[in-house]
Amino acid sequence: MPREIDFFGVLLPGVLPVFLLSAVLQLVLDAVLSYVGAYRHSWHPALVRLCMFVCIFSALLVTLYQ
């Protein structure tokens, strides 16, 4: 995985594609959990969403940078 990505002369962080992929995965998982009604049983739904994103992002980074 490169440290920086050259995008039309602008250097972007190398983890940006991983961040965007994890954001898309989190949005899909959030929609499924909202449809099922899993957030009714949580104390703070926004905190659950943030923790899901951090877990997905961390898992993707660990698998890529091993």
Q: Is residue 22 part of a domain?
A: yes
- Non-local (6+) Cβ contacts of 12 within 8 A are 4, 5, 6
Digit-coded pLDDT (tens) for 3-50 = 787 889 888 887 888 999 999 999 999 999 999 999 999 999 999 999
- Per the model's pLDDT, the better-predicted residue between 28 and 64 turns out to be 28
Query: What is the pLDDT averaged over residues 40-64?
Result: 94
- Non-local (6+) Cβ contacts of 54 within 8 A are none
26 within 8 A of 56, measured Cβ to Cβ: yes
In this prediction, residue 2 carries a pLDDT of: 63
For the chain, how many structural domains are there in total? 1
Q: Is residue 9 part of a domain?
A: no
Residue with tokens 């989190």: 26
Q: Is residue 1 part of a domain?
A: no
Q: Is residue 40 part of a domain?
A: yes
5 within 8 A of 12, measured Cβ to Cβ: yes
